[in-house]
Amino acid sequence: MPTSAIIGGGVIGSAWASRFLLNGWDVRFHDPAPNSEVVLNNVLDKARRWVPEVYDRLPPEGALTLCDSIADAVTGAEWIQESTPERLDIKQVVLAEIQESCVVEAIVASSTSGFMPSELQAGSARPEQLLVAHPYNPVYLLPIVEVVPSAVVLEETVQRAEALLTDIGMKPITLRAEIPAHVGDRLLEAVWREALWLIKDGVATTEQIDDLMTHGFGLRWAQKGLFETYRTAGGEAGMKHFLEQFGPCLQWPWTKLTDVPDLDDALIDRIVEQSDAQAAGRSVSELEEERDANLVAMLKALRQEDTAAGAFLNRLGRPLTNLAKHQE
């Protein structure tokens, strides 16, 4: 079986480990945090419950090895995923330690939400070996992953990364250029900033904003995304008509997207109070359970209609091939 190394656990690293394991890869896992094994087992239990609901069949689960050091974990690994805290200094130190022990043929990827690969590569012994593979939570269910190479990463390496990520059931989106926060998080950040203003100004509550998404445009985005949604809004004349009709609105003072509200104690307290009321006593575990059940139902529905993420999952087939096929 092919082998991956997961360096850094938490929710993201543990979910990466789960995705690799359930797609037939052996996983060597290292995280020095005292509760890392508990977090890993909790995430893995969720993945084992929900992932088989999405796919017709899965390969035999890979073997999990808990390692005491980075050097031990990366030994023999073809793919190494770093998911340490979002601090550049920590990531650079960890990535350097990874490269001291891994084989030169291995792909070393970072889960960073915001740093560019060129920043991670600063001082690297082999910068061409490092790239960003940024997933979305829960990693074991959501197939999308942003692949971000810098200018020094060879196209051959990028193509191999895309192939291996596809092997574990993911849809790689390779960005044309590196940029802070990549693409997905920049879009999320824009919505988040405006939502904070709406709460700060007393326009809407957290629950009302979430309802607008879950009962409205969020349902459209899940199947059509942003641009196809607006294309259909333009009627038979399509995107050109939409842009001509609504383009001038961009010059109107509708949003505060260029400003960031001050997250002072008053605003934090307001958001927390409203969020607590919205949760209605449900624990985070209960909310995650509800989230995963809904995601599975949505992915099944999209598979049935053969559209969006469902179309991608249908094209994958099962069981997925492994690394050996790409090395033949």
At residue 223, the pLDDT reads 93
Q: Where are the beta strands (DSSP E) in 119-254?
A: 130-135, 144-148, 171-174
Q: 185-281 — its CATH code?
A: 1.10.1040.10
Residue 164, pLDDT score: 97
Q: What DSSP letter does each residue of 175-232 carry, written as one string?
A: -SS--TTTTHHHHHHHHHHHHHHHHHTTS--HHHHHHHIIIIIHHHHHHHTTHHHHHH
User: What confidence score (pLDDT) does residue 143 get?
Assistant: 97
The phi and psi torsions of 156 (rounded to 5 degrees) equal: -60, -40
pLDDT tens digits in sequence order for the chain, 328 residues long: 899 999 999 999 999 999 999 999 999 999 999 999 999 999 999 999 999 999 888 999 999 999 999 999 999 999 999 999 999 999 999 999 999 999 999 999 999 999 999 999 999 999 999 999 999 999 999 999 999 999 999 999 999 999 999 999 999 999 999 999 999 999 999 999 999 999 999 999 999 999 999 999 999 999 999 999 988 888 898 888 888 888 887 778 777 777 889 999 999 999 999 999 999 999 999 999 999 999 999 999 999 999 999 999 999 865 333 333 333 3
Cβ-contact 27, 63 below 8 angstroms: yes
- pLDDT, residue 248, reads 83
**Sequence spans of domains, the chain:** 3-182, 185-281
Displacement of CA 275 from its chain's centroid (Å): 24
pLDDT at position 322 is: 39
Q: Would you say the C-alpha torsion 266, 267, 270, 271 has a positive or negative sign?
A: negative
Q: For residue 318, what pLDDT is reported?
A: 52
Query: What is d(CA 31, CA 73) in angstroms, rounded to the nearest whole number?
Result: 10
- Write down the pLDDT at residue 324: 35
pLDDT at 259: 84
pLDDT at position 70: 98
How far is 213 from 224, CA to CA, in rounded Å?
14
Per-residue confidence (pLDDT) for residue 317, from 0 to 100: 67
pLDDT of amino acid 323: 35
Kindly report whether the peptide bond that precedes residue 172 is cis, defined as omega within 30 degrees of 0.
no
- Say which CATH class 3-182 falls into: alpha beta
Write down the pLDDT at residue 244: 87
Do the Cβ atoms of 271 and 199 come closer than 8 Å?
A: yes
pTM score over 0.75? yes
| pLDDT attached to residue 326 | 37
79 phi/psi in degrees, rounded to 5: -130, 130
